[in-house]
Amino acid sequence: MSERLIITRPHYFTDTKSNCGYCSGQKERNEDYYCLDSWYAASTGSNIENCTMGFQAELMSVEIYGRLCDMGYRRSGKFLYKVDMVRNCCRLYTIRTTPDQVSITKEFKSTLKRFRKQIKPSGDGKRHDGGPFNYIREVLETETSAKDFKTCFEPAVFTDEKYTLFAKYQEHVHNDFKHNAKSFKRFLCDSPFSKETILGTKEEWDQLNNWKVMAPGEKLKRQGPAHECYYYKDELIAIAVTDFLPSGISSVYFIWDPEYHRWSLGKLSALRELCITSKTNLDFYYMGYYIDDCPKMNYKAKYGGELLDVCTQRYVPLVRLNELKSPGKLFTVEEHPAKAEGELPLNKALAHPVGRLDGAERLENTVEKIYGPNGGAYQDAIDSAKALSRIGIPYAVDERPFGMAESKHKDDETYVIPNVVPGLVPLKEILEMVLHGDINSLQNNVTFFDMYEGNIRQLQSFSNESPEIKRTLCDVIRLIGLENTKGVLLLL
Ligand SMILES: [Zn+2]
């Protein structure tokens, strides 16, 4: 039985770009904030902000979380979010790679060499196996014989020792003095997974902690969050916060002791996690978000890999994107010759495993045709919003295809989700779902829990619901697709 998905209704937030964790509103040129140069040219001084949408997940299975990661979501504790790629000041792309896509540069080699020297000072620092340099073998060999260095995977739970390291890291590396034990717990210990998933079984942790000797093809039992604690001479010097997903390892955060900055622990942890991906027979290593024009985030391209095209629900290799997209801008690619003028249907794709473009197709970046100032997406959305409104689902015509969202929900001051957002199920498809009755598959399949009234009930008939509930349900489908909405318990 799949676990129940318990979520709040979707929210859309904006904040000033000076609070963006990536650009801090400090880009050199104003046009660099815009998703496309054509939007910059067409803009009348609209204010680019930090625009995020998401929901709080009280309970979620690892399988569903894995699917949401492949839709561009990330989690911060229990909060799942992604940015609005049209209106946000930065383009955040989900990036993943595989162990064999990493080309070992001089930089990586010297990181590994330095690591070997630090933890095996008695040795001569040289490899003895001969043959070409292989980073996986290098890590395995170095760690297997090291006496003073070890790591241990354990449940992502709070300890004072972990918090002390976190505090030191935040203060010295990020100049952040506003942290406290509660915020650490919320950010890096809490997750939407069940208690059983979080704690895991002894068998799972034993197998994971013996990842170096797993047999080729052996299935990894652990799925869910983990803290990998790094110890040097029995002192905690780093923690890798990771999620083990069915399709791979997702890196959530990495904390290290500033006194060990010479070890390049950040780089080392990525190389180690790629080794673990390989040895545990998983496919992908998810590195979080990649941002072209952000030095803090664009180093990830060094590990090879592919970016998620949220509009088509396919990964595209970075090497192919180089000639198709401009740095920092929005893209969506189709096989050439492309058909799309308006937004591409997305709902069906969301019900299937994410795709990959790894063949030799000729590709075309269709972003202007769809999301440019004269793109087809906006007229489609206007027509669909009008039609939805006529059948009692209150979507207002969005006169601001671009720029900050202006309309707010009455009750909680959060913004209404704009009608065109790349990577959300287009309104046109929502309309078809309602008109063709596909939405009725949610009957007796969605539960509402009214937190103010304290009552719980099942969705009986979509057409008998209030306009607000209809809109809320449609927004949930826009964010996660119809298939993933089945079985949801929605907190209202
Ligand atoms: Zn930004």
Distance from residue 32's CA to the centre of ligand 1 (Å): 10
Ligand 1 center to 20 CA (angstroms): 5
Cα–Cα dist 108/114, whole Å: 10
The answer to whether residue 316 sits within a structural domain is: no
Q: Which of 250, 206, 203, 202 is nearest to 224 (CA)?
A: 250
- Cα(403) to centroid(ligand 1), Å: 14
Q: Which of 251, 282, 313 is the last residue of a domain?
A: 282
* Residue 14 Cα to ligand 1 middle (Å): 12
One domain, residues 86 and 204: no
How many whole angstroms from 329 Cα to the centroid of ligand 1?
12
Residues 120, 111: Cα–Cα separation, whole Å: 14
Q: Say how many Å lie between the CA of residue 40 and the centre of ligand 1.
A: 16
Report how far ligand 1's centroid is from the alpha carbon of 90 (Å): 4
In angstroms, rounded to a whole number, what is the distance separating the alpha carbons of residues 291 and 283?
23
In a domain, 338, yes or no: no
Other Cβ atoms less than 10 A from the Cβ of 359: the count is: 7
339 half-sphere exposure, CB direction, 13 A CA radius: 3
How far is 72 from 299, CA to CA, in rounded Å?
A: 19
What spacing in Å lies between the alpha carbon of 414 and ligand 1's midpoint? 20
CB-CB contact of 324 with 317 (8 Å)? no
C-alpha gyration radius of the chain: 24
One digit per residue, the tens of pLDDT, for the chain of length 492 reads: 356 899 999 999 888 899 999 999 999 999 999 999 999 998 876 677 889 999 999 999 999 999 999 999 999 999 999 999 999 999 999 999 999 999 889 999 999 999 999 887 665 555 556 678 899 999 999 999 888 999 999 999 999 999 999 999 999 998 989 999 999 999 999 999 999 999 999 999 999 999 999 999 999 999 999 999 999 999 999 999 999 999 999 999 999 999 999 999 999 999 999 999 999 999 999 999 999 998 888 889 999 999 999 999 999 999 999 999 999 999 999 998 888 788 999 998 888 899 999 888 899 999 999 999 999 999 999 999 999 999 999 999 876 666 544 566 655 667 889 999 999 999 999 999 999 999 999 999 999 999 899 999 999 999 999 999 999 999 999 999 999 999 999 999
- Report the distance separating Cα 278 and Cα 248, nearest Å: 10
How far apart, in whole angstroms, are the C-alpha atoms of residue 234 and residue 320?
45
Q: Which residues lie below 8 Å from residue 112, measured CB to CB, with a gap of 6+?
A: 135, 138, 139, 142, 268, 271
User: Which string of DSSP letters, residue by residue, matches 376-444?
Assistant: HHHHHHHHHHHHHHHTT------S-SSSS---B-TTT-PBPPPS--TTSPPHHHHHHHHHTTGGGGGTT
Distance separating alpha carbons of residues 22 and 413, to the nearest angstrom: 25
Give the count of domains, the chain.
2
**Domain membership flag for residue 337:** no
219 in the same domain as 128: yes
Same domain, 51 and 134: no
**Based on the domain organization, do 255 and 153 belong to the same domain?**
yes
- The model's pTM is 0.94
Distance CA 72, CA 69 (A): 5
> How much distance in Å is there from the Cα of 28 to the middle of ligand 1?
12
Phi then psi dihedrals of residue 236, to 5 deg: -70, 120
Tokens 């002390």 map to which residue?
164
Distance 192 CA to ligand 1 centre (A): 27
* CA of residue 309 to ligand 1 center, whole Å: 19
Instruction: Give residue 376 CA to ligand 1 midpoint distance, Å.
Output: 26
Measure 276 CA to ligand 1 centroid, in angstroms.
32
Rounded to the nearest angstrom, the distance between the alpha carbon of 226 and the centre of ligand 1 is 29
Q: How confident is the model at residue 45, as a pLDDT? A: 67
Distance 231 CA to ligand 1 centre (A): 35
Domain that holds residue 189: 99-282
Q: Are the beta carbons of 104 and 133 closer than 8 angstroms?
A: yes
353 CA from centroid of ligand 1 (Å): 30
CA of 293 to the centre of ligand 1 (A): 10
Whole-angstrom distance, CA of residue 43 vs CA of residue 373: 9
Rounded Cα distance, 191 and 212, in Å: 27
CA 418 to CA 396: how far, in whole Å?
10
8 Å CB contact between 183 and 167:
no
- Joined tokens for residue 470: 């209809």
Residue ending a domain, among 258, 282, 306, is 282
Q: Judge if 158 and 10 occupy the same domain.
A: no
Distance 51 CA to ligand 1 centre (A): 9
CA of 269 to the centre of ligand 1 (A): 26
Q: Is the peptide bond before 337 cis (omega within 30 degrees of 0)?
A: yes
**Ligand 1 mean position to 243 CA, how many Å?**
25
Domain-embedded: residue 350: no
Inside any domain, residue 443: yes
- Angle of CA points 112, 114, 116, to nearest 5°: 70
If asked whether residues 43 and 169 sit together in one domain, one would say no
**DSSP labels for 322-354?**
TTTS-TT----EEESSP--SSPPP-HHHHTSPP
How remote is the CA of residue 86 from the centroid of ligand 1, in Å?
A: 12
The verdict on 131 and 273 lying in the same domain is: yes
Cα of 21 vs centre of ligand 1, distance in Å, is 7
End-to-end Cα separation, the chain, in angstroms? 25
Q: Is residue 28 domain-shared with residue 112, that is, in the same domain? A: no
Q: Which residue, 127, 134, 129, is CA-closest to 102?
A: 134
Q: Quick one: 83 and 106 in the same domain?
A: no
- The Å distance, Cα 89 to ligand 1 centre, comes to 4
Å from CA of 23 to ligand 1 middle: 4
Q: Please give the helix or strand (H or E) that residue 12 lies within, else none.
A: strand 11-15
Which of 227, 257, 282 is where one domain is finished? Answer: 282
Q: How far, in Å, from the CA of 84 to the mean position of ligand 1?
A: 11
Quick check: is 438 in a domain? yes
Residues with C-beta atoms within 5 A of ion ligand 1: 20, 22-23, 89-90
Cα 50 to middle of ligand 1, angstroms: 6
Contact call for residues 329 and 35 (beta carbons, < 8 A): yes
312 inside domain? no
